[in-house]
A and B are shown apart, each in its own frame.
Chain A
Amino acid sequence: MSREEELALIIIGLNIKNNTNYPQNVNLMGNNSNLLDTANANREFRWDFTTFVFTDEFSVSLQYKPNGAASFSIYTAELQSQTLEAIVISLNLLGIGYFTLYNELGNTYIGTYNDNYEFGQLVISGSSLVNYIITEDFRFISTESGELLITE
């Protein structure tokens, strides 16, 4: 019998139930700092996208803060395409819980469940990020007065 076989057999059993009408991502058996584990959270934050139509929006930003924090932080991400699914993908890159797109009673929502974090306004806007194409080697120099000079 190997050393490992002598060690105690431990069975961990979990009963998991999705109580919603749409699929839910779960993240289990991590530590308490695992922000993706929102199991047993009752508080839902959702944003109504029923009447929203894309025009030239390529950026999403979201206010978030831990419970009781004085002010919101803002998370910003670019959209890979002009779809609601792309918004969900970008929001899930935040790493706090899971965001889901779903329909309920004829309305379209993006929602997330979280008891530890609060979410505020969600803003869909034009691209806030600028794409730079670097054609030559440049050097950034900060002067004593705080200016940033770009030299070749």
Chain B
Amino acid sequence: MIFNANIINHTLPAVSVNSDSNVTYAQIKNSLGQQVYKAEEFYLYSTNFSQLIGVINYNIYDVSGNQNITNIVTTTDPYQVVSSVFVDLTQREKPIILNGNSNFSTTILPNTYLQFQLYNRRITNSFGMNLFNFKELEKITKTNFFNNYGHPIEEIQAVNNEIMQSISKEKALPINTDTDITKSIKENDNKIVYGLLSFIAISSLYVLYKIKD
């Protein structure tokens, strides 16, 4: 049996999603990948209490396309009155990372509003974690691609120490120059003193010679 599609353009979307800041939801999505976040906590608020009880699926794909699904169960205290809930994500076995290759999925109840806040730490894409694979490839192809690629940290620190020492030596040079100058000034002063003394001695001898006459 064939069913033809009816196309209806509604004024309201089925599910509207808006950011509560100046940055739009589309801009947030576009930034993922460049900006990587580690979610530490959820805050959920809804006018419908039932919306707070359920499951939020966290899906993440790795570079091979493998999907890993984590079910985050949200529940409320039976005695709570406030229609909101915090969900701690830090104690989970695997971190909740938003990097563009992950997403959250859940079900929103009919005509229900849900405020969904994520408390994140901004982290960076790790570089070097996958170099092991290249290293294996290098072994197989015998290319020595990673020759002179870099140095172990201890070597870098040792080189840094040498550089620091050479810098401090260079800095010490002007101090030696100053010492030379003071030394030269002192030497000049001595010459004047000797000159004066010899002048006094000669003049006193001359005076004595004149008195004798």
Binding site for B on A (CB under 8 A): 4, 7-32, 34, 36-49, 52, 57, 113, 119-125
Contacts of A10 in B (CB 8 A): 37, 119-122
Known A9-B119, A42-B12; contact A34-B107, beta-carbon cutoff 8 A? no
Instruction: List residues of B (81-140) whose CB comes within 8 Å of A's CBs.
Output: 98, 100-123
* Measured CA separation A22–B118 after assembly (Å): 26
19 A-B residue pairings within 8 Å (CB atoms): A4-B121, A12-B37, A13-B20, A13-B116, A16-B15, A16-B114, A16-B116, A17-B16, A18-B109, A18-B110, A28-B17, A28-B103, A30-B103, A37-B103, A43-B10, A45-B7, A48-B6, A121-B3, A122-B2
Binding site for A on B (CB under 8 A): 1-21, 25, 28-30, 32-33, 37-38, 98, 100-123
Q: Which of A23, A38, A52 meets B1, CB within 8 Å?
A: A52
Tell me if A46 and B13 are in contact (CB < 8 A): no
Contacts of B112 in A (CB 8 A): 17-18
How many A-B residue pairs have C-beta atoms within 8 angstroms? Tell me.
201
Q: Which of B4, B7, B15 meets A40, CB within 8 Å?
A: B15
Known A13-B19, A39-B25, A40-B15; contact A26-B108, beta-carbon cutoff 8 A? yes
Q: Which of A8, A26, A38, A40 meets B121, CB within 8 Å?
A: A8
* Nearest CB on A from B77, distance (A): 23
Tell me if B104 and A12 are in contact (CB < 8 A): no
Tell me if B115 and A15 are in contact (CB < 8 A): yes
